[in-house]
Amino acid sequence: MLDSPPATSGFAQLVGFRLAAWREGYAEVELDLGPQHMNVSGAPHGGVLATLIDTAAGFAGCHCAVPGHKRRAMTLSLDTHFVGRAKTGSRLKCIARQTGGGRNIFFATAEVRDETGVLIAQGGGVFRYRGNSGDPRGETSDDQHSGDPA
């Protein structure tokens, strides 16, 4: 469990995933699979797995060690391979690691596994820091009204 979990988005609440671990360059996101995550074939919808990868990979590049500060980013591109098949009732864990980047852009990859360790999906994303979030010290809320044109 996280000491200070980040604000929960509307989509996180809807889908039910949660940030389970977070440090510099690393994030874990968990989801307990229920029937509401499934496609008509009884497997997790591809969008569920892409959501976990996008979320965990984005968090991996946005950890901030300064209390009260935040770092924000937007996804530029996301790619996912659907490797295995998970079942209703599984707890999925998506582990993401930042692989590179700098003050403007970062790269991260992620793997989704079920509770037995089977690889369900694998992918990654390219992200752009918003405002001054490329600085590891992050921003205060007051800094965050600057625009972010692409």
Closest approach of Cβ 142 to a copy of itself, in Å? 16
In angstroms, the Cα distances linking 114 to 11, 89, 91, 120, 130 are 21, 10, 6, 7, 32
Look-up: residue for tokens 């990859």?
109
Q: How far is the CB of 90 from a copy of itself (least distance, A)?
A: 14
Quickly count: other Cβ atoms within 10 Å of residue 115's Cβ. 13
Nearest to 59 by CA among 43, 72, 78: 72
Q: Nearer Cβ to a copy of itself, position 39 or 91?
A: 39
User: Smaller CB distance to a copy of itself: residue 21 or 88?
Assistant: 88
- Whose Cβ is closer to a copy of itself: residue 67's or residue 102's? 102
Separation of alpha carbons 85 and 95, rounded Å: 17
Q: How far is the CB of 21 from a copy of itself (least distance, A)?
A: 18
Supply the minimum distance, in Å, between the C-beta of residue 97 and a copy of itself. Answer: 11
Residue 150's CB is within 10 A of a number of other CB atoms, namely 5
How far apart (Å, rounded) are the C-alpha atoms in residues 30 and 37?
13
Residues binding a copy of itself (CB under 8 A): 6-15, 34-41, 43-48, 50-52, 54-55, 58, 72, 74-84, 99-107, 109, 119, 122, 124-126, 128, 130, 149-150
Tokens 């820091």 identify what position?
129
Task: Give me the least distance between CB of 96 and a copy of itself, in Å please.
Answer: 13
